[in-house]
Amino acid sequence: MRISLFAVGRLKTGPEKDLVARYLDRLARAGPATGLEFLRVVEVNESRAAHADTRKREEAALLEKALPEGAVLVLLDERGKALDSEGFAGLVGGWRDGGKRDLMIAIGGADGLDPALTARADAVLNLGRMTWPHQIVRILIAEQLYRAVTILTGHPYHRA
């Protein structure tokens, strides 16, 4: 299964970008042995529309455009379901084992996600009840994707 990240906003050069790259590189190297391939990061600019609802609709349209046909769509949202690392790995492994070809994990813009996109998503997850800057969300999800691979392979990186 090919894994892509979609993000509203661009990550500037710096330690956050370096850390995301480190975990995505680990995912790219370790993933193929488990049938998980890191494909790409899709970054889009934040909408400049005057109203939040319009911004969310415009950003959702950009996500829909980047979404491969038949892909599993996971949205990261503070109102989503909380999973532990094993639960997240199980979810990813289940989609892989169910024959899904693509997985897109999306980080929305500062205004949140369009309700129509949330209704269409296969899962809406949160990374804790606190609010996180988008740069840190990228680090957290990149690390959790790598951790999911290590859990699925029984690698000792994850020690629960």
Residue 131 is labelled as binding a ligand: yes
Length of the chain: 160
Residue 108 is labelled as binding a ligand: yes
What pLDDT does residue 87 have?
97
Residue 152 is labelled as binding a ligand: no
pTM here is 0.94
From residue 2, alpha-carbon distances to 50, 55, 100, 129 in Å are: 35, 28, 9, 28
Residues of the chain with pLDDT under 50: none
What pLDDT does residue 160 have?
60
Residue 54 is labelled as binding a ligand: no
Give the domains, in start order, of the chain with CATH numbers. Answer: 2-153 (3.40.1280.10)
